[in-house]
């Protein structure tokens, strides 16, 4: 996010190195750091007792050996589940070749539910700068709770109020402009990324919702409308693209000069970029 980095595409590990290890587990994030990822992407949700955990789906059914909505389960109940189970492994996406690294969890913590707090500790201990791209999933309890808890937790790590958006090691992403607005209202210098699965007609000229300065289009948008990336850049926005796993899509992102590639396979993308 610094100016010095502007010409180097940032490689962001989507749900950790989620092609090599079960998504959103400590194992997947350790691997991403080891692989040299510049940043880690994670989705956050609130448990019934108010903890932020890194889980993508509303329910834990797909990624663990348990069942139920995250918002209906307490942290202790989630901690009893295995997120490195067969199901989560079967959900690894886009594996195109035999891995040269075998997933072997060493510690129960590697595959238990991951709190955002534990992930921030891992990053703090990484021994190098590793940025965080934290996505707020839709709050299920009452408006503003996820964002409020997120900023409180970031405060404990001294990350809630960066000196400038350009140099922040943390950014908040969401498909919800309202969620990003809440974050900016509480922390005006926190960089925010507006995620897009499609481009709404009122944003086609490259504008973003008020207060947001980073665009997060899907790779499908980029493939189908490369000129839109140009428009975003002309409007002065950074462009962070998800989820980029195919080599030809990496090439396209390079050609278009995007700022960040969010990928399940950070090592392969870094190799392709010659890093
Ligand atoms: O990084 C953005 C991307 O993660 C958004 O989609 O469904 O994977 O959270 P999803
Ligand atoms: Ca996400």
Q: What is the pLDDT of residues 199-234, one digit of tens each?
A: 999 999 999 999 898 999 999 999 999 999 999 999
Beta bridge partners of 181: none
Average pLDDT of the residues in 235-263: 97
Q: What is the pLDDT of residues 24-56, one digit of tens each?
A: 999 999 999 999 999 999 999 999 999 999 999
Check pLDDT > 80 for residue 23. yes
Q: Nearest bound ligand to CA 193?
A: 1
Beta bridge partners of 216: 195
What is the residue with the minimal CA distance to atom 3 of ligand 1?
Answer: 242
State how far the alpha carbon of 269 is from the alpha carbons of 12, 84, 169, 202, in Å.
Answer: 10, 24, 21, 33
According to CATH, the superfamily of the domain at 3-272 is: Phosphatidylinositol (PI) phosphodiesterase (3.20.20.190)
What is the residue with the minimal CA distance to atom 10 of ligand 1?
Answer: 56
Angle, helix 226-234 to helix 247-256, in steps of 10 degrees: 40
Catalytic residue among 14, 24, 51, 237: 14
The CA 100 to ligand 1 mean position distance, Å, reads: 26
Residues in CB range of 227: below 8 A, 6 or more apart:
none
The pLDDT of residue 4: 39
CA dist 24 and 195 (Å) reads 19
Q: Is 235 exposed, middle or buried (0-12, 13-18, 19+ CB in 10 A)?
A: middle
Ligand 1 atom, smallest distance to 133 CA: 1
The pLDDT of residue 2: 39
Average pLDDT of the residues in 158-169: 95
What is the residue with the minimal CA distance to atom 7 of ligand 1?
Answer: 56
The CA 242 to ligand 1 mean position distance, Å, reads: 7
The CA 39 to ligand 1 mean position distance, Å, reads: 14
The CA 113 to ligand 2 mean position distance, Å, reads: 16
The pLDDT of residue 85: 79
The pLDDT of residue 10: 98
What is the residue with the minimal CA distance to atom 2 of ligand 1?
Answer: 242
Rg (CA), the chain: 18
- What are the structural domain ranges in the chain? 3-272
The pLDDT of residue 103: 84
Q: What is the pLDDT of residues 69-88, one digit of tens each?
A: 999 999 999 999 999 976 67
State how far the alpha carbon of 225 is from the alpha carbons of 189, 206, 213, 215, 219, in Å.
Answer: 30, 12, 20, 14, 10
The pLDDT of residue 102: 82
Q: What is the pLDDT of residues 98-156, one digit of tens each?
A: 667 788 888 999 999 999 999 999 999 999 999 999 999 976 566 799 999 999 999 99
Q: The complex's ipTM?
A: 0.99
Q: Would you call 51 a catalytic residue per the annotation?
A: no
Q: Assign 6 a pLDDT band (cuts: 50, 70, 90).
A: very low
Ligand 1: list residues with CB < 6 Å.
14, 41, 43, 56, 135, 195, 216, 242-243, 262
The pLDDT of residue 90: 66
Q: Would you call 14 a catalytic residue per the annotation?
A: yes
Residue 56, helix vs strand vs coil: coil
Check pLDDT > 60 for residue 195. yes
């Amino acid at each position: 996010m610094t100016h010095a980095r502007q010409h180097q595409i940032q490689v962001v590990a989507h749900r950790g190195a989620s092609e090599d290890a079960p998504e959103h587990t400590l194992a997947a994030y350790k691997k991403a750091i080891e692989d040299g990822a510049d940043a880690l992407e994670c989705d956050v949700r609130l448990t019934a007792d108010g903890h932020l955990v890194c889980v993508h789906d509303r329910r834990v059914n797909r990624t663990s050996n348990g069942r139920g909505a995250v918002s209906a389960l307490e942290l202790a109940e989630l901690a009893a589940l295995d997120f490195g189970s067969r199901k989560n492994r079967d959900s690894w996406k886009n594996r195109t070749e035999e891995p040269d690294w075998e997933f072997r969890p060493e510690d129960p913590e590697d595959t238990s539910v991951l709190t955002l707090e534990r992930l921030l500790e891992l990053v703090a201990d990484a021994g190098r700068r590793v940025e965080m791209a934290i996505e707020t999933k839709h709050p299920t309890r009452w408006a503003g709770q996820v964002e409020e808890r997120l900023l409180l937790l970031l405060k404990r790590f001294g990350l809630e109020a960066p000196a400038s958006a350009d140099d922040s090691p943390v950014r908040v992403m969401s498909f919800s402009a309202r969620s990003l607005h809440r974050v900016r209202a509480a922390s005006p210098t926190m960089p925010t990324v507006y995620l897009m699965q499609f481009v709404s007609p009122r944003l086609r000229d490259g504008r973003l919702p008020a207060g947001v300065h980073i665009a997060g289009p899907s790779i499908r948008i980029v493939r189908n409308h490369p000129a839109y990336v140009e428009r975003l850049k002309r409007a002065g926005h950074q462009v962070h693209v998800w989820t980029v796993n195919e080599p030809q899509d990496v090439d396209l992102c390079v050609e278009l000069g995007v700022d960040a590639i969010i990928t399940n396979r950070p090592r392969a993308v870094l190799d392709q970029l010659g890093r």
